[in-house]
Amino acid sequence: MITLANDLSNAKIAVIGLGYVGLPLAVEFGRKTPTIGFDIDEKRIAELRRQHDATREVEPEAFKESTQLAFSSNLADLADANVYIVTVPTPIDQYKRPDMRALEAASKSIAGTIRPGDVVIYESTVYPGATEEVCIPVIERESGLEHNVDFFSGYSPERINPGDKQHRLPSIVKVTSGSTPEVADRVDNLYRSIITAGTHKASSIRVAEAAKVIENTQRDLNIALINELALIFERLDIDTEEVLAAAGTKWNFLPFKPGLVGGHCIGVDPYYLTFKAQEIGYHPEVILAGRRINDTMAEHVVDRVLKLMTQQKIHVVDSKVLILGLAFKENCPDIRNTKVVDLVREFERYNANVDVYDPWVDPAEACDEYGIKTIDGLKQGSYDAIVLAVAHEDFMALGAEAIVSLGKAKHVLFDVKHALPSEYVTARL
């Protein structure tokens, strides 16, 4: 008999992985039911116990309100749980193939404490079929328990949008699913207890997995289309922003803008779907074409900046270039798969001296992850070229004139994000 009751009266939840997805989830459940937040990173656990979140997704007050939440890096502390929710990262490897090692490791850890009647719910983004083809077999093999006889599973894809203070976990509709109809109902009830926006119960785990992976694939393709249009309009000497503003007057025009596509979701998830498609013998042309366009936009930005510098007779070799922003998106410290790194590498390839400034990003993390030493302040009149790569509110608060003043008397200001008034910038995407 499944131990998860509709009213949560006997639910004890363990959230495995306390990053951008897992921590807000653990905090919400900890308001209502006994919850243990688990992470293998002892430093992360120590900061969370101090009610500090380096990702800036959870405020100190929320920790105080989550009175039934505890944190641990000790697997033995999971022994009392009967609901396990897995929220570990699912990146891609250097060949752009799914890297499932963290997911498999989490499944193996759960197998050490899972008991008959327990439920395991996965939230990590995967390709359709991965939960039942990759994760569940690990638990069965390591625990000796049989799926849908001794323990059960569900899948509820995460929809966290880092840095977004308006669309928070409770206010985003949650897709749910379960390995049996009864489990699906109970998983849905579990999430409905914390999701004020409501839930959508999918007919199967595979449907829920597929729904998640196409959400970001669709967004990736929409941005790729606008990026390709920007490349065309540049050659036609037409301002892309003006074109988008004109087209946007139609009620059903989608308001996407050109830009760098990084992060842990949009730049990664499509490869999970294309991997599975190729595994079953189908070559996805449109999805991969969009990925190729988006993956080359950093190179295009640097190429344009260098041409503009040359036109102004600014020597590229030994020039000083300032890149504003390192995070993959605005108002967020997340640097996973940030395409700003590609900007840095490409400028360095032409022997330019690059400074990167981002008040949101942990300098130690930037150095450890990418070998980039960020600067801790800005100096006027210092740069031959400035690239606004991320539209942090801090940069917008500075204002266009202050950003212009960072450049030398003769310099290039390139606005990747279309965030500054056109009269202040040399060019933009």
- 3-state secondary structure at position 149: coil
Q: What is the rounded CA–CA span in Å between residue 381 and residue 404?
A: 9
Strand 199-201 to 174-176 pairing: parallel
Residue type, 169: L
Q: How far separated are the first and last CA of the chain, in Å rounded?
A: 58
Report yes or no: 324 and 344 within 8 Å, Cβ to Cβ. no
Exposure string over 140-158, b if 16+ CB within 10 A, otherwise e: beebebebeebbbbbbbbb
Structure tokens at 104: 């498999």
Give CA 347 to chain center in angstroms: 25
Helix (H) or strand (E) holding 130: helix 130-130
Helix (H) or strand (E) holding 226: helix 205-235
| Size of the chain in residues | 429
Q: What is the rounded CA–CA span in Å between residue 266 and residue 100?
A: 17
CA distances from 165 to 264, 333, 338 (A): 18, 14, 21
Closest CA to 130 of 104, 159, 96, 91: 104
Q: What is the rounded CA–CA span in Å between residue 389 and residue 419?
A: 10
Q: What is the rounded CA–CA span in Å between residue 325 and residue 71?
A: 32
C-alpha dihedral sign at 358, 362, 367, 371: negative
367 is catalytic: no
Closest CA to 37 of 107, 87, 89: 87
Q: What is the rounded CA–CA span in Å between residue 421 and residue 415?
A: 9
Neighbour-count burial of 281, counting CB atoms closer than 10 A to its CB (0-12 exposed, 13-18 middle, 19+ buried)? exposed
Neighbours of 348 (CB within 10 A): 13
Residue type, 234: E
CA distances from 213 to 89, 127, 382 (A): 14, 7, 44
Please identify every residue annotated as catalytic: 265
